[in-house]
Structure 1
Amino acid sequence: MFLIVFAVWFEHKNLKQDSKVVFLIEKFNHGENIVCKEGNVSNKFFNYESGTQSFVSKKDNLIIDIRKCEL
């Protein structure tokens, strides 16, 4: 019984995280600013790397994980 509850909770948590990531990428692609721990991110100064799910600065070597960003 515990394994079933854990599996349902884990799947729900992953689906919630995935929908957040999709929404953030949508905002980024439309040129909106995204608030992250390290600072604001926009497509003017950053590129999105889908393989690592992170934002990479166009000028510096700054890499920001999308999971550290907020809606």
Structure 2
Amino acid sequence: MSLVDTIRDHVAEHRSGMVVDLVFAVVWVTVVTALFDVLDGPTWAYYLCMLAGVVAYFTFFGSLDAARDRDD
């Protein structure tokens, strides 16, 4: 199996999850950027909020998985 076939299979298998990840990232970056454009906050706080997006992502989707496991 070639590298291209491996990538194609991976994308086909995880397509919906990849789209959700992309939407979450785009929305998070858009909201934080718009907020800091309005508030004119310090650069370090902007980067801290961007980093908080990683924590928010794993917390949100981790709790979603836990809720789905509890329902099953």
Q: Would the TM-score normalized by the shorter structure come out above 0.5?
A: no
TM-score (norm 2): 0.41
Greater share of helix: 2
Q: Greater share of strand residues, 1 or 2? A: 1
> TM-score by structure 1 length?
0.41
**Larger-Rg structure:** 2
